[in-house]
Structure 1
Amino acid sequence: MIEALLQAILEQVDQPKKDLEHNLRALLNEAVTKMDLVSREELERQQTALNSANQKLIALQEQVKTLETLLQK
């Protein structure tokens, strides 16, 4: 009888823990969604695109300098 009572008490204690965990997970998911975060893969893709754009910009700047030099002659 004591064993059954103890088991019933443990089950009653365990349920609020599960409810709290569920509510915390939902709250954290909502908070992360509102933060407008990006994934590591997206960040790396954007860094690659930025590096590529910077290289093209440097090449174009060199072309402009070359053309300016030619025009001054």
Structure 2
Amino acid sequence: MIETLLQAILEQVDQPKKDLEKNLRALLNESIEKLDLVSKQELERQKTALNLANQRLTALQQQMSTLEKMVQDQK
């Protein structure tokens, strides 16, 4: 009987803890969504895209310099 009573008390104490945890998680998730953050994966994808764009820009600048030199040499 004491075990049953003790178990019932522990269950009653545990439920508010679970409710509080659930409410805090919901509140934190809502706050994070308002911050308009991006995931680490999205950040990595954007960094990769930026690196590729920079490499392409560098290649195009080199091509342009070569073409400008060719035009200057023809004059």
Assess same fold via TM > 0.5: yes
Instruction: Tell me which amino acid in the other structure corresponds to 1:30.
Output: E
Equivalent position of 2:66 in the other structure? 66
TM-score, with normalisation over the residues of structure 2?
A: 0.76
Q: CA deviation at 1:40?
A: 2.2
Match of 2:22 in 1: 22
Q: Report the Cα offset of residue 3 of structure 1.
A: 4.4
How many pairs were matched up?
A: 73
- Identity fraction in percent: 74
Q: Give RMSD over aligned pairs.
A: 1.8
Whichever residue aligns with residue 62 of structure 1, its letter is Q
- Unpaired runs of at least 5, structure 1: none
